[in-house]
Amino acid sequence: MFDEIMRKFEDSPSQQAVIRLLLERGFSVNDGGRVVSGGIEIPNTGIAREIDVDRRVVDATTDAILADEELRRIFQNISAIPSLMDLAPVLDLTVLTVLPDDADRHGIVSAVTGVLADHGISIRQTISEDPEFTDEPRLYLVTDRPLDGEVINEIRGFEFVRKIQLE
């Protein structure tokens, strides 16, 4: 799906940057063509400044979204979820990031969460990036305590794990 969306903007790298930001942040586009998070409007100048494009690029992108029925359905229904990942150091939580070799493979989340459960580790939050919306999807797990070597090795031992990171 991500590739299909990006193809619609293949003639404009600047508009693709706007699309990426909207998807990454979970921003939607309302009927008036304004970028919103929930009911809070995000000024187009702020979006433009964040990705270093002209404000008119943001306007053109939201106009294109509203003009395309498929894009309209997607971008009017996106929502952001709060993440504990940036708060983890403050709350003494651990963030485990798993980069799979094939994110379309079934059972990745259950295998990793199963290992954590088997070791009595509580999961405070799980975020799984959709392989349709990102080039290198990751699985993030925020746990209530640090992970020991045995747990890390067990997860690293799964054939689908390309790389893991701990924070």
* Per-residue pLDDT reduced to its tens digit, 57-86: 999 999 999 999 999 999 999 988 889 999
Q: Which single residue is written with the structure tokens 């299909």?
A: 4
Maximum CA pair distance of the chain?
53
125-153 burial, b for 16+ CB within 10 Å, e for fewer? beebeebebeeebbbbbbbeeebeeebee
Region 125-147: mean pLDDT is: 90
Class of domain 88-166 (CATH, top level): alpha beta
* Per-residue pLDDT reduced to its tens digit, 46-60: 999 999 999 999 999
Query: Is the Cα torsion angle 59, 64, 70, 71 positive or negative in sign?
Result: negative
pTM, two decimals, is: 0.77
Q: Which single residue is written with the structure tokens 């008119």?
A: 56
Q: Domain boundaries in the chain?
A: 2-75, 88-166
